[in-house]
Amino acid sequence: MSAGLPNRLWFPLRQRNGLMAQPRVAPGDRVLRGGVLAGGSQPLDPPIHASTSGRVTGIEDALLPLAAGLSGPCIVLEADGQDEAAPPLPTLTIDRASATDLLQRIEAAGIIGLGGALFPTAAKLSGGGINTLILNGVECEPTLSCDDRLLRERAAEVLDGAELLRRAFGIEHVWVAVKENMTEAFEAIDEARKAAGLDRIAPVSVPSRYPAGGERQLIQSVTGREVPAGGRPTDIGVLCLNVATVAAIQGAARGEPLISRIVTVDGRGVREPRNLEVRLGTPLRHLIHLCGGYVDPVDRLIIGGPMMGFSVATDAVPVTAGVNALFVAGRGEIPTRNPAKLCIRCGECAEVCPAGLLPQELFWQTRPGNSAKLLADGLLDCIECGCCDVVCPSRITLVEQFQRAKQVISLEQQARNAADHARRRYEARQSRLALEQAEQARSAHQKKTELAQSPSAKIQEALHKARKRRDPSVIQAPPARMVAPDEE
C-alpha cells in the first residue's frame, strides 16, 4: 500500500558518518521529484533527492531518526500535490551496462544500504574481488516484514537488479537468502528466476533463528565461510546486499533515484499494522494516521524492532532510507527492565552471542582508558543484537554499555585523526618553508656567482670611472662657465 504524499517533508542533512551534506537548493526554490536537494560532493556523501515536487520553505532543526536522539538541520519541502518528476536519466540495460557505468549511476541515484547500515552502495561495490553475491532477505527482527513483502510482490525486480550486478561485475554465484518460514517469498523468487531464465541466481533458506539476518552470520550460513575478525566480507570474496537495496539499484538503472522505501508499521499500539511504500521525508505521524491511529495506551515508539531498535520521543521524526520499521509498543508489550545488579559471571551472555564474543569480559573492559583492550577483545564485531541483554539475570544493559564504548572509541579515533591531520599540515608547512628558504639561498648564491663571473655593463662603467679618477695622467677640462645673457 502506498503511503501517499504528506503536505510537508523533512530531509535531514546529517550523513551516516556525522558529516553534513551541503544544500544545493535555497528557500523559495521549486524542485521536482528526483531533483537533488543536497550532497553528492564525494562518494561517501551520496546525493539526497526530493521525493516529490514542491517548494523549499527553509532549513529547520528537527529530531532525527538516530539512536542518540540528536536533532539536526533538515531541508523542509512543501509538497505542491502535482508530484512532477524531473527528466529521468537514460536507461542502463543488462547487456550493455559496464561496471563503471553502473557504479556512476548508483552513486548519482543516491543508493545506500537499506538494511540499516546506510553505507553508500557504490563505495561498497568498488572494492572488487567479488565472486559471490548474497541478497539478504532475512529480516532479523521478528516484527519486520518489509523485505518479505517486497520479495512476494516484486521478486522479478529484485532478480533483475541482481542479474545486472552479476553481469557488470563478473560475479559467479548469486544467492537470495530468506528465512525458512518465508515460504511465499521463496516460491516467488523461484518462479521469477525460472521465468527469466536466470540460472546463476538461486534462492536459499536459512534457519528462522534470531539474528540469522546479521551479515556475518548470514555469510557463514550460506557459504560456510567466516569473515575474519576486524575484516570485511570482501576479504573472502563475498558481497552482501539487502534485497531492497538491489531493487533500488534496478530502479536506478531505469533512471529513478532513491526516493522511497517499504516500511513495516507494527505493534499493539497501532490500530491496523501494515507495510507501506513511503516517500522519504514523510513524518512518522503520517504513517500512524494511515494505519488507523494509536490504540491507547502507547508505551513507546521504536524505529526498527523491539530487539535492535531505538526509541524516539515524537512521531514528527521523518522517514529516511534507514527507517525500515516503526514499532508502536503498547503498554506492557515490551517488559520494563528492573534495576541492574552486579554481574555474577554466569556466562549466559557468551552462550547466546551470535558473534562468538565474551560480553561479560567486554563489560568489565568498558571502563575509561581501556579502548585498546576492547578493540583487542572484538568490541567492533558486536552486532548489537541484544541477545545478551535478554538472558542476563542481573539485567545489565550490556548493549547500551557497548554502544557507549563504541562512541568513545569513535571520538578517540576522530581526535587522533584530527591530531594526525594537524601534525601533517605542520610538517608540510615546515617542509615548504625549508624549501622556500633553500630556494632563496640558492637564488642569492646564483646571483652572486653570476655577478662575479660576468659583471654587468653598469659595474664595468663604474670601474672604468674609478680607474680614471685614480690615474694622474688623465686630466679632465673643467666645464665651461655658464654666462648669463646680461653679462655678454
Contact assessment for residue 212 and residue 206, using Cβ atoms and an 8 Å cutoff: yes
Burial class of residue 332 in the structure, from the number of CB atoms within 10 Å of its CB (0-12 exposed, 13-18 middle, 19+ buried): exposed
Model confidence over 99-150: pLDDT tens digits? 999 999 999 999 999 987 788 999 889 877 889 999 999 988 888 999 999 9
Best CATH choice for the domain 264-330 from the list 3.30.1380.10, 3.30.70.260, 3.10.20.600, 3.40.50.970: 3.10.20.600
Cα-Cα-Cα-Cα dihedral sign, residues 437, 439, 440, 446: positive
Contact assessment for residue 295 and residue 271, using Cβ atoms and an 8 Å cutoff: yes
Q: Which of 214, 178, 235 is nearest to 355 (CA)?
A: 214
Q: Give, rounded to a whole angstrom, the gap between the first and last alpha carbons of the chain.
A: 121
Cβ neighbours of residue 36 closer than 8 Å, sequence gap 6 or more? 24, 47, 48, 49, 50
Contact assessment for residue 42 and residue 58, using Cβ atoms and an 8 Å cutoff: no
**What pTM did the predictor assign?**
0.81
Beta strands (DSSP E) in 111-247 are 132-136, 173-179, 201-206, 238-242
Residues in the chain predicted with pLDDT less than 50, given as ranges, are: 474-475, 487-488
Cβ neighbours of residue 393 closer than 8 Å, sequence gap 6 or more? 344, 346, 348
> Buried b / exposed e across 172-204, counting CB within 10 Å, b at 16+?
ebbbbbbbeebeebbebbeebbeeeebeebebb
Contact assessment for residue 204 and residue 174, using Cβ atoms and an 8 Å cutoff: no
The domain limits of the chain are 95-255, 264-330, 337-439
Instruction: Give the CATH superfamily of 95-255.
Output: NADH-ubiquinone oxidoreductase 51kDa subunit (3.40.50.11540)
Contact assessment for residue 123 and residue 115, using Cβ atoms and an 8 Å cutoff: no
β partners of residue 173: 132
CA distance 401 to 414: 20
With both helix axes pointing from N to C terminus, report the angle between 243-253 and 146-169 in degrees, rounded to the nearest 10.
Answer: 60
Contact assessment for residue 294 and residue 265, using Cβ atoms and an 8 Å cutoff: no
Residue 265: φ, ψ to 5°: -110, 120
Task: Fill in the amino acid letter for 97.
Answer: A
Residue 334: φ, ψ to 5°: -115, 120
Q: Check residue 488 and give its pLDDT.
A: 45
Cα-Cα-Cα-Cα dihedral sign, residues 98, 100, 106, 108: negative
Model confidence over 247-292: pLDDT tens digits? 999 999 999 999 999 999 999 999 999 999 999 999 999 999 999 9
